Structure 1
Amino acid sequence: MAYSVTQEYLQIPPVTRAYTTACVLTTAAVQLEFITPFQLYFNPELILKRYQLWRLITNFLFFGPLGFSFLFNMIFLYRYCRMLEEGSFRGRTADFVYMFFFGGLLMTFFGFFASLFFLGQAFTIMLVYVWSRRNPFVRMNFFGLLNFQAPFLPWVLMGFSLLLGNSIVIDLLGIGVGHMYYFLEDVFPNQPGGKKLLTTPGLLRALFDPAETDPDYSPLPEDQSGVVRQGQGPDGEPIQRQEEQDRDL
């Protein structure tokens, strides 16, 4: 039993495994009173004047005490982070890590002006947004109550937060940053006169993407979700086929 759990854990893609594990361990440390949220939250004054630089990272790792909100966030974080890493970022770990840096830096910048203490939920919404825009034909079901296409998922989550009485500022921040990444990475380079502005640094590629043995290898985008499949037509040209697929949250 222990072996099967360990084996399943090790099968989780590395970035998803590292981030979700860090979030769970941080919450456990707070719950066991080894540390307090006051040592973790985002505080520009303490970061700049007292050089408590760890707050730049720890504010993304704490989602509140154990309870419904924590479990809800962990489920969405794990699910959509993993689907991105195994889908459109398959074989592109360095690009995935670069998206983490891009999103984290932008959220930190806006956090200086918005008086936000913890940015993990915004980061989760960013991952959900990018996944939803790259899977526009997937049909979603929200707890059996509401059916909609994937691009509406971030807005449904924001509405759910509003119903729970939470502020939607953090959700809007995640949606905004997610749209910036999606536009710069997927939309603008394909426009007339557009070009790719987000280039993954070579250092990240050297650290996370080992050299491929097959120079012709290229990962299929979103293979897990089945939204885009690639093949070859009779003339040898690549063809794409988009499919609709039902998916529960």
Structure 2
Amino acid sequence: MDIGLPHNIPPVTGTLLLLAVTSVVLVSFGLVHPLQLVFSSTLTFQERQYWRLITTFFYFGRVNLESIIEFHWLYLVSSSIEQQYFRLRKLDYCFTILTGMLLLLGVRTLGIIDSPYLSFVFCRSLTYLFCRLFPEQEVGLFGLLMLRVRLLPIVFLVIGTILDDMRGIKADIVANLVGHILWYLLEIFPRITKLHPLRLQHYFF
């Protein structure tokens, strides 16, 4: 099954894209300095610059080919998860995203990874989750090669090994681990315990 682009951007994915595009535009026009978007536990908690808890996940660099590709990939992965797995459960998807962000902030605070921005790691975590939820679907890689999505984490890890240093490889591994935790909480943990830790919507609606 090929992954097609949804005709309409679902609301949660639209919000993620809006935050990402806004941060890039603000930096590109010099209204905000990139360092103001970096996550730093000292600046965040001691200086009470709490916006850094959010902005670190949505800055993909200045407008260039890489940032455009990341926007497109975030849209593709997030919209597929939202429309296919969390259909009619937007609040559950929001809580799943929030859980992933908290895990990444914890890893960053502990110094396991030292990425100044967590946007790329966040996107890779969603990619891993997408791959585990829909392993048999296919996606075109770079417009040239059709792959089962279950292979994407391995492909990205190989590409990272070739192009990046050890810091980038470590970030990819952490992203996959966080994505795996989210998948486990969504799919495996409920089967074992009959509890759904990432389901909130049924409490409110």
- Give the alignment's TM-score, normalised by structure 2: 0.87
Question: Superposed, which structure 2 residues align to 1:10-159 within 5 Å?
Answer: 11-114=8-111, 115-143=114-142, 146-159=145-158
Q: Determine if contact 2:20/2:59 at 8 Å carries over to the other structure.
A: yes
Equivalent residue, structure 2, for 1:174 = 175
Instruction: Measure, in 2, the Cα distance between the counterparts of 1:39 and 1:162.
Output: 30
Bigger CA radius of gyration = 1
Instruction: Measure, in 1, the Cα distance between the counterparts of 2:145 and 2:198.
Output: 38
Deviation of the 1:177 alpha carbon? 0.5
Instruction: Measure, in 1, the Cα distance between the counterparts of 2:90 and 2:84.
Output: 11
Deviation of the 1:141 alpha carbon? 3.7
Deviations 1:36-69 (A, max 9, x none): 1111101011112111111000000101112222
Instruction: Measure, in 2, the Cα distance between the counterparts of 1:84 and 1:101.
Output: 15
Deviations 1:167-198 (A, max 9, x none): 1222222111110011121012223xx33251
Q: Determine if contact 1:94/1:205 at 8 Å carries over to the other structure.
A: no
Deviations 1:214-247 (A, max 9, x none): xxxxxxxxxxxxxxxxxxxxxxxxxxxxxxxxxx
AA of the residue aligned to 2:61? G
Secondary structure class of the residue paired with 1:94: helix
Q: Which has the higher helix share?
A: 2
- Structure 1 residues 100, 49: closer, same or farther in 2, change over 3 A? same
Aligned length: 196
Deviations 1:120-173 (A, max 9, x none): 111111111111111121234423554542211122123223333351222222
Deviation of the 1:20 alpha carbon? 0.4
Q: Determine if contact 1:80/1:128 at 8 Å carries over to the other structure.
A: yes
- Give the alignment's TM-score, normalised by structure 1: 0.72
Q: Determine if contact 2:96/2:198 at 8 Å carries over to the other structure.
A: no
Unaligned runs of 5+ in 1: 1-9, 212-249
Q: Determine if contact 1:60/1:119 at 8 Å carries over to the other structure.
A: yes
Q: Determine if contact 1:185/1:196 at 8 Å carries over to the other structure.
A: no
Instruction: Measure, in 1, the Cα distance between the counterparts of 2:57 and 2:138.
Output: 29
Instruction: Measure, in 1, the Cα distance between the counterparts of 2:170 and 2:93.
Output: 25
Instruction: Measure, in 2, the Cα distance between the counterparts of 1:156 and 1:69.
Output: 17
Note the aligned Cα RMSD (angstroms). 2.2
Instruction: Measure, in 2, the Cα distance between the counterparts of 1:189 and 1:201.
Output: 14
